[in-house]
Structure 1
Amino acid sequence: MASAPDSQPGSDAFVRFWSDYRLCMLASPRPDGSIHQVPVGATYDADANLVRIIASKSSFKARNVARRPGLRASVSQVEGRWWSTIEGWATVSSDPERVAEAVRRYAERYRQPRESSERIVIEIAIERAMGSVPPLD
């Protein structure tokens, strides 16, 4: 599916769509090949070309990615007729600086998350995006 230029990473409309409050869905393959899909809060970093998702290291989504670094994953969000899906290679990090950056961005988009000693960040290096986001007014 071809997407409009405004629907591509880095465009102002894309950045706004991924900055406004809306929940997302993370999809990743389980070891048996079936799809694990779960609601998440995700943030988009245009400069780093990354999507970040904070999670507990004991969550299935974190364990699923950690056991197979570089696994392909996608994050999607939708609002009415507008939608966007980002695909890329996922990794898990417990590095304090990376986790702190993910928490900071999550707090900007959603709310300050509760404290957790189990927190990690799932980072998806963006390879492809598709969708239809609202044009800037």
Structure 2
Amino acid sequence: MSHDVLHPTPEYLAFWRERHVCTLTTPRPDGTPHVVPVGVTYDPGAGLARVISNRHSKKVRNVLAAQASAAGAARVAVCQMEGRRWATLEGRAVVRTEAEAVAEAVARYAERYGRTPSPNPDRVVIEIALDRAMGRA
């Protein structure tokens, strides 16, 4: 079922506020998918999903490689599921390194997951400009 990225149903948004491990799928430079478990926050007001990560991770390198290509951004998906409920958000990802962007993403992560990550000077944010939402919540 399709959902409006900027105006999700209350049930869909509530599902994205629950504590769930998610997956992030990024394209490797050869085009094959790289799927890893992550924490994700969904901000429908801004039309964004955010994933905090270490700047040296493979997922970050994949997004950076796509940013440097003619595409200018990586086409990615984040997904979560529990029983019959599932939700996927898709969009174009970029890596943000600005302190304000990282702090915002960490604060949102702490709110959703109930814990503040340890300080990490190598932390960056994969910021996904969303254009598709699907699922059954």
Q: With the length of structure 1 as denominator, give the TM-score of the two structures.
A: 0.90
CA distance in 2, matches of 1:101, 1:12: 23
Q: Give per-residue Cα distances to partners, 1:44-65, cap 9 Å, x unaligned.
A: 0011010000000001111110
Instruction: Quote the residue 1:34 is aligned against.
Output: 32
**Pair 1:105-2:104 in alignment:** no
Instruction: Quote the residue 2:135 is aligned against.
Output: 131
Percent identical: 48
Where do 4+ consecutive residues of structure 1 move more than 6 Å? none
RMSD, aligned CA: 1.1
1:63-78 counterparts in 2 under 5 A?
Answer: 63-69=61-67, 70-78=73-81
Unmatched segments (≥5 aa) in structure 1: none
Instruction: Tell me, yes or no, if the aligned pair for 1:65 and 1:71 is still in contact at 8 Å.
Output: yes
Instruction: Tell me, yes or no, if the aligned pair for 2:29 and 2:65 is still in contact at 8 Å.
Output: no
CA distance in 2, matches of 1:131, 1:108: 23
Q: With the length of structure 2 as denominator, give the TM-score of the two structures.
A: 0.90
1:38-117 counterparts in 2 under 5 A?
Answer: 38-69=36-67, 70-110=73-113, 111-117=115-121
Count of residues paired in the alignment: 129
Aligned AA (2:101) = R
Unmatched segments (≥5 aa) in structure 2: 68-72
CA distance in 1, matches of 2:135, 2:79: 9
Any idea what SS the aligned residue of 1:48 has? coil
CA distance in 2, matches of 1:20, 1:93: 25
Q: How far apart are residue 15 of structure 1 and its match?
A: 1.3
Q: Give per-residue Cα distances to partners, 1:28-52, cap 9 Å, x unaligned.
A: 1101111100000000001101000
Q: How far apart are residue 66 of structure 1 and its match?
A: 1.3
Any idea what SS the aligned residue of 2:35 has? strand
Q: How far apart are residue 13 of structure 1 and its match?
A: 1.3
